[in-house]
Structure 1
Amino acid sequence: MRNSRRVRAAVAVAGVLTTLVAAACSSSPGTTQSSGPRGELTVLSLGPVTTWDPQRLSTPQDIAFAGRTFLRTLTAFPPGRDATAQRHVVGDLATDAGSPDSTLKVWRFTLRKGISWQDGSPITCEDVRYGIARSFAQPFASEGLTYPLAYLDLPRKADGSTTFTGPSDASGQAAFDKAVSCSGSTITFRLAAPMADFSEALAMPVFAPMKKSADKGKAGTYAVFSSGPYLLKEPWDSSAGGTFVRNAKWDKASDPIRKALPDSIHYVQGTESQTAVQAVINNQSENTAAVTLDSAPPAMQQHVLSDPGLRARSVNPSSQFVDYLAPNVERGVMKNPDVRTALALATNRDSYVAALGGASAASAAYSLIGPTLPGHRSDDPLGAGSAGDAAAARTALQKSGLTLPVTVRVAYRSTPTADKAMAALSNGWQDAGFSVKLQPIAKNYFETISAPAQLAKTDVFWANWAPAWPSASTVIPPLFDSRLNLTGSGTGRDFGGFTDAKVNATITHIQSLPSLDDQAPAWADLDASLARRAVFVALAQHKSLYVAGSAVTRFGANEALGGFVDLAAIGVG
């Protein structure tokens, strides 16, 4: 999953740090009360939120906010301090995490009693069906997540699309009715292939219910019809945000996820991250009861973490993304496995992490299966370590039979930070016998590198990836199953053009294993085998740092939600 949040140019933060020093000295966690409305939590975000429609939501930060405030799904990931417990999905609108049959292709869920919409009407099985059905219609199909299209057992056309095109499609309705059916309060899903983690997929908003009479269609970009503890007080302001107040029809007894402690939540949109962090650290007025939803810039992170008072009001979780390199295995020098191995051995992750901002911003990674996922391993399959091994890399490069220095062209998404990070990597590669030619691409990076012609121009592609939910099934197949990626129109997310029938068969086998406990070590083994072949070179696991005002209680992040601030249990003292 790629974060679609628009990136704005950062402003200088050097002057901010002087202000923070003074602010830190006066902060006293837990003693200052908010002068704003009693019980109101303020959240500060850059934004922009592009939609609140459940079938159009795709930005992880917005999904995390919506899912804790006004949008309930059949399943959800629980709050709490225990990262392991966070990733064990539980029932939300459903009584539990569902019951699959022996094939893992038929899943059944039973709705809880007492669940209702903001108008007091009950949330029904048909509401769930309607919400999923609308994801096949426009604009939802092109703007939102496409998991129903990918997983449900529906007739397909030659191009992979389905014959069902939404609730108004009478011709395809019978097929959809078979794939998603209701019997009283029980909903049954029939899938195209076995899926042990389907209950985790159902935590995504695209599977959320929608009441047909409340559906505003294309005009409902920011419409909120709440199934959770908060509802939107007034129409959403796309430039400023909005305020969410209590939903009187929400039954706390029916909701095992959301504590809903604040009386209201004021969402302030359009605040640059460094401005938001400074405001919260200053700890004045309404900002004593505020939290930042965007990670603090690295230059500010070090200040926050070095001050005991500020550190106590912050969290520094692993975030979604793992940065990695995808060598071009289809042509050029990287088709030679010894050259790929040399590149991997020479990769200095320490210098890369330092350029990103240090230990509070990232940590060295050797796997694409991040630390929040079952099956994560922290060891280096090639044994070079975080600083790399230039001598071993040079030996591997000499073994390739090519004349040193070996020229390698490396494409990456150019930003000021990325420019420094890639320059740091280049130094290590050059020590091993490479001649590095960096190819910075500032605009439309992923679209550019996935074009067929790019394989002839580039030897190594920088990339990043984040799991859609805590399962390696949302990492390895999307990146390395050539059946999903390689077409005449491009490489998809398989930027290096990797194809291996045995790997594809292994993916299919792992997906058919009966439990996630069985799948996790199998995914780990496959990940490590691809790393040993240098099909990818993992670089760094990103981290975030969020700050809260002194009146905020139970402040934390949830790594199962992508490492974002978890509003399910947060309160205002």
Structure 2
Amino acid sequence: MTRSTRRSRTVALTATAVAIALGATACGGSSGNSGSGTPGKGGTLTILNKADYDHLDPQRVYTTEGQSMDQEIVRTLTGWDETGPKPKLVGDLATDTGTASKGATVWTFHLRHGVKYQDGTEVTAPDVKYGVERFFSSDINGGPPYAAQWLVGGADYKGPYQGKELGSIQTPDKYTIVFHLNQPVADFNETTTMTGWSAVPKAHDTGSTYDTKVWSDGPYMIKSYTKNKELVLAKNQHWSQSTDPIRQQNVDEMDVKFGQDEAAIDQQLKADAGTAQTSIQQWPIAGSDLSQLANDPSLKSRYYKIPAPGINYLAINTTRVKDLRVRQAIEYALDKTTARGAFGGSAYGDYASTMLSPGIGGYKKFNLYSANPAGNLAKAKALMKQAGNPKPTMSIAVENTATEEHFADAVKTALGRIGITVNITPINASNYFSTVDNVKNQYDLTWVDWIADWPNASTVLPTLFDGRLIKKNPQANQDQSYLNDPKVNALIDKAAKMTDITQRNAVYGQMDEQILKDAAVVPLMYMNFSEMSGSKVGGVIPDSIVAEPSLVHVYVKH
């Protein structure tokens, strides 16, 4: 999934990968505030964010900030309990993690009784069915593609707004929901942890404007929402702790303020005065501040370093930069040391040479290009010469933040040395991904970061590089390199049919290598995300699935 710094998420980690990823969490950074002491009740938690959420509509959310915030407002069929040493899959709206039958092509979930919306009515299986059906409407775009890919009849279904239902989602009674899939999906119950697999009551669905009207069945509900300025959440008085195994309802309100510069937020939190003491950030610390704050011992108890199952990368549009040799020259010319410097240096993450990050099922270690992260200028120039020494001008899309504009400058400088002129296009961070995901807005180079939706390659490579999905999702295309390589597509299909995880992972390793042979992307860093809170914020859980500071147990110290 994407982050604002796009945390996109892939959540499909195998058990081993989860263990590895979580082991890493335990030793990365402090979870100081999630520790001892009784959670305080009451008070207001302030959340300081540089930009508004791309979406809060649960069927459209595909950024980590949006997903993390939605965990306070909506409940999903399954979820992650992250209070232990590693994340544990549990039932959320469902009583357990679901039952697979017919070779994992049919999945059945039983809902808890007595889960209530903000108006006191009960959440039912038909509400979940309706919520999932919204995924298919052309008005509701931007979310993950799994429902359309996996549900029988999904390819032709156009959503619930014409009064039609999807027959492959059945609700034999008020508390039972059954999904019929067109292929075996052994980790389907990890997909259902994503916000799209949540209930939407038809009577309160406002379609494409639901972002600001989300109807709550979680501990908090929307009290007021002024886009790009402020979101205030108040308690859902009908939420009950006895029906919710994941969340708590400790603070009275959550007040999200949008629009301050990243560095200004960092300095407020560091100074820890006034309301900053009861504040937290969801977007990462600015690159210019990171190394200093990461190494400040006085901040240790309120600094969260969260290893993300994901990758920060530069996508090269293969339909615009058609010459493979020019793309390979870009691979060699890019100086990853200055690119990483823009994001904050070594505290931000290790240099990457693959699209799958260590700890994700399917990761294979290889490096097809420069062994030196600063690049190989001689090799890059030789490739440009073989290509006839073109002098192209290329556009690069980045978010309009100081961190990313410094990154774009680093790309511009590096490519300038091989005769490529780079024009920088900064895009508003609050709608960055909606902008670059629309096929009308094609750039030569696009900055992206991606987090597995669950820790497995199945939520990274097929989503980002299946060229057949470009036409299907013209407004929500995740394939920023516009790669449509028959070899890659064939490997995607091969992996999808495999039930042996070891064999499937080997195919994902091959796929990763083929994508790099195509020079479709320049992998930059395997990411850590670092955030801070004020000294009076407690109960924060470093969420290694979404790579956010989870607020599900947050409280304010009095």
TM-score, normalised relative to structure 2 = 0.78
| Mapping 1:67-82, distance limit 5 Å | 67=71, 69-80=72-83, 82=85
More strand by share: 2
In 2, the alpha carbon distance for the partners of 1:523 and 1:44 equals: 38
Displacement after TM superposition at 1:378 (Å): 5.6
CA RMSD, Structure 1 to Structure 2 (Å): 4.1
Q: What amino acid is aligned across from residue 91 of structure 2 in structure 1?
A: G
In 1, the alpha carbon distance for the partners of 2:158 and 2:476 equals: 27
C-alpha contact 1:486 1:497 (8 A) present in aligned 2? no
The corresponding residue for 2:495 is: 510
Q: Secondary structure of 1:206's match? A: coil
Which of 241, 245, 263 aligns to 2:231? It is: 241
The corresponding residue for 1:182 is: 172
Displacement after TM superposition at 1:315 (Å): 1.1
Displacement after TM superposition at 1:138 (Å): 6.9
In 2, the alpha carbon distance for the partners of 1:51 and 1:323 equals: 21
The corresponding residue for 1:501 is: 486
Q: Secondary structure of 1:322's match? A: strand
Which of 60, 65, 68 aligns to 1:61? It is: 65
The corresponding residue for 2:25 is: none
Which of 253, 260, 263 aligns to 1:265? It is: 253
In 2, the alpha carbon distance for the partners of 1:41 and 1:189 equals: 38
Pair 1:461 & 2:448 matched: no
| Mapping 1:6-25, distance limit 5 Å | none
Which of 182, 192, 198 aligns to 2:182? It is: 192
The corresponding residue for 2:283 is: 294
The corresponding residue for 1:159 is: none
| Mapping 1:77-226, distance limit 5 Å | 77-80=80-83, 82=85, 85-86=86-87, 89-137=89-137, 139=139, 141-142=140-141, 147-154=146-153, 156=155, 162-166=156-160, 169=163, 172-173=164-165, 176-183=166-173, 185-215=175-205, 221-226=211-216
C-alpha contact 2:80 2:89 (8 A) present in aligned 1? yes
The corresponding residue for 1:483 is: 468
C-alpha distance after superposition, 1:256-313 (max 9, x if no partner): 22244x2323223235133433333332344322212232222332332232111331
Which of 325, 329, 338 aligns to 1:351? It is: 338
The corresponding residue for 1:16 is: none
Distance 1:526 1:90, change over 3 A: farther
Distance 1:523 1:97, change over 3 A: farther
Pair 1:373 & 2:338 matched: no
The corresponding residue for 1:421 is: 407
In 2, the alpha carbon distance for the partners of 1:368 and 1:475 equals: 8
C-alpha contact 2:311 2:451 (8 A) present in aligned 1? no
| Mapping 1:376-391, distance limit 5 Å | 376-377=363-364, 379-382=366-369, 384-390=371-377
Q: What amino acid is aligned across from residue 292 of structure 1 in structure 2?
A: Q
Which of 45, 49, 52 aligns to 1:48? It is: 52
In 2, the alpha carbon distance for the partners of 1:252 and 1:419 equals: 44
Q: What amino acid is aligned across from residue 198 of structure 1 in structure 2?
A: F
Q: What amino acid is aligned across from residue 352 of structure 2 in structure 1?
A: A
Pair 1:412 & 2:401 matched: no
State the identity as a percent: 25
Q: What amino acid is aligned across from residue 464 of structure 1 in structure 2?
A: V
Pair 1:360 & 2:363 matched: no
Distance 1:452 1:128, change over 3 A: closer
Distance 1:411 1:49, change over 3 A: closer
Distance 1:52 1:420, change over 3 A: closer
Distance 1:495 1:199, change over 3 A: same
C-alpha distance after superposition, 1:467-513 (max 9, x if no partner): 46123223212332222226998995545553332321210111122
Displacement after TM superposition at 1:429 (Å): 5.9
Distance 1:72 1:508, change over 3 A: same
Displacement after TM superposition at 1:202 (Å): 1.7
In 2, the alpha carbon distance for the partners of 1:286 and 1:313 equals: 15
C-alpha contact 1:486 1:494 (8 A) present in aligned 2? no
In 2, the alpha carbon distance for the partners of 1:439 and 1:422 equals: 9
Displacement after TM superposition at 1:347 (Å): 3.5
Q: What amino acid is aligned across from residue 349 of structure 1 in structure 2?
A: K
In 1, the alpha carbon distance for the partners of 2:138 and 2:461 equals: 29
Pair 1:569 & 2:556 matched: no
In 2, the alpha carbon distance for the partners of 1:193 and 1:497 equals: 26
Considering only CA atoms, is the larger Rg found in Structure 1 or Structure 2?
Answer: 1
Q: What amino acid is aligned across from residue 266 of structure 2 in structure 1?
A: V
Q: Secondary structure of 2:108's match? A: strand
In 2, the alpha carbon distance for the partners of 1:195 and 1:511 equals: 8
Q: What amino acid is aligned across from residue 280 of structure 2 in structure 1?
A: V
In 2, the alpha carbon distance for the partners of 1:52 and 1:495 equals: 23
Displacement after TM superposition at 1:154 (Å): 1.8
In 1, the alpha carbon distance for the partners of 2:405 and 2:276 equals: 35
Q: What amino acid is aligned across from residue 519 of structure 2 in structure 1?
A: A
Q: What amino acid is aligned across from residue 60 of structure 1 in structure 2?
A: T
Q: Secondary structure of 1:544's match? A: strand
Q: What amino acid is aligned across from residue 269 of structure 1 in structure 2?
A: K
In 2, the alpha carbon distance for the partners of 1:559 and 1:332 equals: 35
Q: Secondary structure of 2:160's match? A: coil
The corresponding residue for 2:421 is: 437
The corresponding residue for 1:13 is: none
C-alpha contact 1:181 1:189 (8 A) present in aligned 2? no
Q: How many residues align?
A: 519
C-alpha contact 1:132 1:207 (8 A) present in aligned 2? yes
Task: Between the two structures, name the one with larger relative contact order (CA 8 Å, sep ≥ 6).
Answer: 2
C-alpha distance after superposition, 1:238-273 (max 9, x if no partner): 44322422x45433343222244x232322323513
Q: For structure 1, which runs of at least 5 residues remain unmatched after alignment?
A: 7-27, 157-161
C-alpha distance after superposition, 1:180-219 (max 9, x if no partner): 4434533111123443433232222222112345545567
Displacement after TM superposition at 1:137 (Å): 4.8
Distance 1:565 1:121, change over 3 A: same
C-alpha contact 2:353 2:367 (8 A) present in aligned 1? yes
